[in-house]
Chain A
Amino acid sequence: MADVAQPVGILKQIGLIAGLRWRMLHNNLRRKQSRLDLLGLIIVGLLAGAFVTVFCIALFASARNFVSSGRPTWLSLFFWAIFLWWQLFPIIVAGFGVSFEFRGLLRFPLSFGAFYILGLAYGLADFTGLAAVCWTISIILGAAAADLALLPALLLVAVLFILFNVALERLLGSWMERLLARRRTRELFFAGFILLMVSLQLLGPLLNRYGNSAEPWLVRALPYFAYFPASLAGRSAGAASAGNYGEFAIAAAGIGCYAVFFSGLLWLRFAAQYRGEELSETPATEKAIRNKAREESGVDALALLSPQVAAVVRKEIRYLLRNGFAALLLFLPPILVFALITQATLFRFSGAKNGVSPELFFPGLVAYIILILMAPAYNSFAYENTGVQTYFTAPLQFRNVFLGKNFVQVALVATELTLCIAAFCYRVGWPSAPIFTATLAAIIFTLVGQLSIANWSSLSFPRRLAFGQVHGQRQSGMAVLVAFGAQILLFGISSVVLGLGRWTGDRWLPAKAFALLAAAAVAGYVASLDALTSYAEKKKEKLIEALCR
């Protein structure tokens, strides 16, 4: 008679999974590719660590100052900043985030308790969570440095605040994945985003017109913020500092209630996943059928491209639109740009003396859009999975694959840039002709320059990413490093060229220099295509292995 497996305790299961992850990391290091990946991650980690450390020091010093100067409730500001960071940053940088997919563990006889705890623990194991925890601890230590008696109370607040944030972040990510997995809700979601984008344009005029009269309303609304966890954390610090332990207990209990409430909701979400919830597309709408009819009419919108490049372009566009989360990220940069433009117009550009010059603001906005939108190009095969084999079994030069992918990338960046430039010109006005021309040439230089490097990076450091998921994504460390390096290099060159223009007083110098650089970048790109075709042949085994595993 065969034995029956004995139930394993939660701690034992968690221990086993920690051991599993360690073995996976250890065994992965046998591959050169993985060692490079780890090296990249370490370098990126050091940079990120420096960023976190600087803020830790600043928060420590500020928290100590607030408490020692009798303003402990001002700590709320920091808790709000950490809250916003924890909830918004993962969405913006999910592609770069170091987090682990844990649902795959369900194939083991994992108890739901262990699954839930692991889910929460994994939420703390990404960059955003780690940074937020470090900053929260810095605040607590800073406050304790000013008044050591506060330490036990603030530690309790910190634990509750961290629990609340990690539960909410996991919950939002999970809901968003679910929402974006279905075509209908995805369309509604994107429609909402576009409306928001347009609405932001109205925010400026509205504030201009009604700003003064709205102020009292805003002041009256402020006290209601006091009931949110970040404010409650600050209040509890203030109450503990004043020795008012009754108020401290109420505030801490308030944060605890939030933590319990969102943990409960997360429990329900994880329970659905534990039961085997499968996220997938619902059947296409009528629109898809209409599209099909249009395609069959023989009108080919991409007739100017070669059939193979056109096929790659179509596939890329479909993948982009169906990968809800990646598509969502595309909407974020213009929204932020529109918000920045709105803010900028509120301060009414009146020259460099009173604020940021529009002559600098315009290229800055363009640089920001390119910086964000080009990031995925450095691992452009991330979502291909086994499909990547088609590129090598089909009778085509690999340059056609890159041409198709790059065409979509350029079209996307061009569309968003056009929108943002139009918004800028409408709200702020046209920049001067030399700056406008220089910026356009700089766009070509940085865009095309990055494409050559990004194509090489995609072949050299491929990493498979899960389609449509917010969590469980980790980019290749080296790809992230190459992306950072390339962007720093190209934007550094651009800054030097712009600086030279101002220094020499020759306003057309940047335009001329960028035109030359753009021509060189285009020539380099064209020359790189054949080299990349040979390189793809050389790297195909590693590429297929990385994506088909």
Chain B
Amino acid sequence: MTDLAIVTEKLTRRFGALTAVDNVDLRVTSGQFFGFLGPNGAGKSTTIKMLIGLLAPTSGRMQLLGLDFSSHSIEVKRQIGVVPEGMGLFERLTGTEYLRFVGRMYGLDHATTVRRTEELLEFMQLADRPKSMIADYSHGMQKKLALAAAVIHGPRILFLDEPFEGVDALAAGALKALLGRMTARGVTIFLTSHVLEIVERLCSHVGIIHQGRLVAQGSIQELRAGIAGEEGNKTTLEQIFLSIVGQSGAERTHIEELSWLT
């Protein structure tokens, strides 16, 4: 039997009358690089927030690494790493102080925390600004630091909400290599991104959420085969995404009505 890292059953979240996530059944196998896609407001961030414990589901179940989240939240959190929306940084600490803080919060001993902090700062090319407050970092630097904090304790699942947004090409290349190595070692990566090319290049499997419902899930090859038939091999993820989710934004906004802009 396949080892499942993330399982959700009828996961639902309502905000008043709005159902942001509607009966989502996710299956993510250990070691998968899973891309979670959807248009704006589809329910991606709500789903990821529930999976990392920032939001309580209205109904449904979540199992991470075989543990029920609601009854084993501490054990689950110990084994996951998170780059949440907004990055979750304490902006008035330096990068070093922040990584040490996170290391200790995840229960690492002092010596390990110090060593890993230095290694991560070096890897993320943040070591040359040890005295700067995080508030003074550029957006890309903050993203790299948030990613460093997410992996400092060696998580088994990594949740990344738009991890490459604002990161320069050089650093993005290094990060992709790091994430690739992590999945090779069995770490599961759950990633959301609006840049479909990145998802297509990195992820082996994707899930597509639209209006709160999971409308597609599987490997990219499976989705290609399902959507495009015999010409599947030439279909890009963007084409698959658009064919599942609907018409392109350009078609829907009736550009001719915005003549004052064009």
A-side interface residues toward B, CB under 8 Å?
2-3, 280-281, 283-284, 288-289, 292, 295-296, 298, 300, 307-308, 310-311, 314-315, 318-319, 322-323, 383-390, 392-397, 467, 537, 540-541, 544, 548
Contacts and interface: CB of A to CB of B under 8 A. Distances in A.
B110 A298 contact: yes
Given A315-B90, A390-B102, A393-B77, A3 B111 contact: no
B105 A311 contact: yes
B87 A394 contact: no
Contacts of A300: 110
Contacts of B52: 393
A394 B101 CA distance: 11
Contacts of A296: 114
B53 A392 contact: yes
B120 to A, nearest CB: 16
A289 B56 CA distance: 42
Nearest to B77: A395
Contact of B77 (A280, A281, A318, A394): A394
B102 A544 contact: no
28 contacts: A280-B133, A280-B135, A281-B132, A283-B132, A284-B94, A289-B131, A296-B114, A300-B110, A307-B108, A307-B109, A308-B105, A314-B101, A322-B92, A384-B90, A385-B90, A386-B84, A386-B89, A387-B90, A389-B84, A389-B88, A390-B105, A393-B54, A393-B77, A393-B84, A394-B106, A397-B74, A467-B91, A537-B56
Contacts of B114: 295-296
A68 B123 CA distance: 80
B84 to A, nearest CB: 5
Contact of A387 (B89, B106, B107, B262): B89
B158 to A, nearest CB: 12
Given A393-B84, A396-B105, A544-B54, A318 B261 contact: no
Contact of A467 (B77, B92, B260): B92
B189 to A, nearest CB: 16
Contacts of A311: 100-101, 104-105
A464 to B, nearest CB: 12
B86 A548 contact: yes
Contacts of A386: 84, 86-89, 91
B93 A281 contact: no
Nearest to A300: B110
A178 to B, nearest CB: 16
A315 B101 contact: yes
A348 B111 CA distance: 57
Interface residues of B, number: 45
Contacts of A394: 77, 102, 105-106
Interface of B: 52-56, 74-78, 80, 82, 84, 86-94, 96-97, 100-102, 104-111, 114, 130-133, 135-136, 260-262
Contact of A283 (B53, B77, B108, B131): B131
A444 to B, nearest CB: 29
Contacts of A388: 88
Contacts of A390: 88, 90, 102, 105
Nearest to B109: A307
Contacts of B55: 541
Nearest to B81: A393
Nearest to B135: A280
Nearest to A322: B92
Given A308-B107, A322-B92, A386-B86, 13 more contacts: A2-B262, A281-B132, A284-B131, A288-B131, A318-B97, A319-B93, A386-B84, A393-B52, A393-B53, A394-B105, A395-B106, A467-B91, A467-B135
B138 to A, nearest CB: 13
Contacts of B84: 386, 389, 393
Given A3-B260, A280-B133, A396-B74, A315 B93 contact: yes
B104 A310 contact: yes
B54 A392 contact: yes
B54 A395 contact: no
Nearest to B262: A2
Contacts of A384: 90
Given A314-B101, A395-B75, A396-B74, A307 B90 contact: no
Contacts of A314: 97, 101
Given A384-B90, A389-B88, A395 B97 contact: no
Given A386-B87, A386-B88, A395 B78 contact: yes
A323 B89 CA distance: 16
Given A394-B102, A396-B74, A292 B96 contact: yes
B92 A318 contact: yes
Contacts of B108: 307
A311 B103 CA distance: 9
B86, B88, B97, B136: which has the most chain A beta carbons within 10 Å?
B88
Nearest to B82: A393
